């Protein structure tokens, strides 16, 4: 693997890394300490709001290719303290390689967190038992049918909730804080009071933080970002119901390296 290109937008550093068979995948160094790594070339989940899944899955990254994103980034001088499995791909669908990379990163003294749809459930269960430093589970809609449009191949919400409930029921408050529910707010899609009310019930039941994310507009994806006003309203709506809510930070909303924007073969779409 080699670094093909580094795009620096002053907040995020986007690394294009090229595999031996000429795919490029992306990693993002952000917040001055965290590297977001990819786990697959493309993504079979094909979330309808995400550029990473637009062309489906090409193949899994090998263990070596996952850790190369870290070693190559270090060679670029990035002072990495944390790894987030939040780049291209669903980590649970390349589980053996991701798990091996997880232990490598832990041995390097890094904090490692995961962003996942919880699919497949069997691997999600195993992930929960790892000595991770954070797991964020994508919900994005509380209504199964709509959720299927947003996350076509994710685990059913009911199964996710019952597993999370079972796993988190005896956790200390400190450990519980390392789990959260991701809800990507998309204008006119999942921002109704009805959705948010139900979301607050689920979060209250699980006693988990909601990571309320702002949709980043992406060429070729037919959704619109919510207005700042509506975003704040949703935040207050949940807060008023006793939910701990975190918001998209400035790194996550960038055009370069923001949530959902990472792509396979960005600069060479002919081979994608």
Q: Which residues bind ligand SF4 (CB under 6 A)?
A: 43, 45-47, 50, 52-53, 88-90, 117
Distance CA 38, CA 52 (A): 10
Q: Which is nearer to ligand SF4, 92 or 238 (CB)?
A: 92
Distance CA 86, CA 259 (A): 9
Letter string b/e over residues 48-76, b meaning 16 or more CB atoms within 10 A of that residue's CB: bbbbbbbbebbebbbbebbbbbbebbeee
CB 124, min distance to ligand SF4, A: 12
Q: Which is nearer to ligand SF4, 81 or 153 (CB)?
A: 153
CB 190, min distance to ligand SF4, A: 14
Compute φ and ψ for 270, nearest 5 degrees: -65, -25
Q: Which is nearer to ligand SF4, 12 or 237 (CB)?
A: 12
Q: Is 122 helix (H, G, I), strand (E, B) or coil?
A: helix
CB 44, min distance to ligand SF4, A: 8
CB 234, min distance to ligand SF4, A: 20
Q: Which is nearer to ligand SF4, 91 or 237 (CB)?
A: 91
CB 34, min distance to ligand SF4, A: 17
CB 50, min distance to ligand SF4, A: 3
CB 206, min distance to ligand SF4, A: 21
Contact present, 14 and 58 (Cβ < 8 Å): no
Q: Which is nearer to ligand SF4, 34 or 52 (CB)?
A: 52
Distance CA 150, CA 146 (A): 6
**Tokens at 68, concatenated:** 């190369």
Bridge partners (DSSP) of residue 24 are: 18
Distance CA 47, CA 259 (A): 12
Q: Which residue is nearest to ligand SF4 (CB)?
A: 53
Contact present, 26 and 272 (Cβ < 8 Å): no
Q: Which is nearer to ligand SF4, 65 or 90 (CB)?
A: 90
Q: Which is nearer to ligand SF4, 49 or 102 (CB)?
A: 49
Strands 34-36 and 24-30, how do they pair?
A: antiparallel
């Amino acid at each position: 693997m080699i670094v093909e290109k580094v795009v620096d937008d002053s907040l995020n550093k986007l690394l294009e890394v090229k595999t031996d068979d000429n795919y490029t995948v992306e990693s993002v160094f952000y917040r001055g300490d965290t590297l977001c790594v990819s786990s697959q070339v493309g993504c079979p989940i094909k979330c309808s709001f995400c550029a990473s899944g637009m062309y489906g899955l090409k193949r899994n990254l090998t263990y070596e290719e996952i850790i190369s994103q870290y070693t190559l980034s270090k060679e670029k001088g990035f002072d990495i303290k944390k790894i987030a499995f939040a780049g291209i791909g669903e980590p649970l669908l390349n589980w053996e390689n991701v798990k091996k990379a997880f232990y490598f990163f832990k041995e390097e003294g890094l904090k490692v967190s995961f962003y996942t749809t919880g699919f497949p459930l069997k691997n999600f269960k195993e992930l929960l038992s790892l000595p991770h430093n954070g797991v964020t589970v994508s919900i994005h809609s509380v209504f199964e049918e709509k959720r299927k449009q947003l996350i076509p191949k994710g685990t059913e919400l009911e199964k996710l909730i019952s597993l999370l409930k079972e796993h988190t029921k005896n956790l200390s408050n400190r450990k519980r804080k390392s789990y959260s529910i991701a809800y990507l707010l998309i204008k006119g899609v999942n921002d109704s009071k009805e959705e948010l009310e139900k979301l607050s019930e689920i979060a209250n039941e699980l006693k988990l933080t909601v990571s309320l994310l702002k949709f980043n507009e992406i060429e070729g994806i037919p959704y619109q970002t919510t207005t700042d006003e509506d975003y704040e309203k949703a935040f207050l709506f949940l807060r008023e119901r006793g939910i701990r809510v975190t918001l998209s930070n400035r790194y996550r909303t960038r055009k370069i390296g923001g949530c959902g924007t990472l792509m396979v073969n960005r600069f060479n779409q002919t081979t994608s």
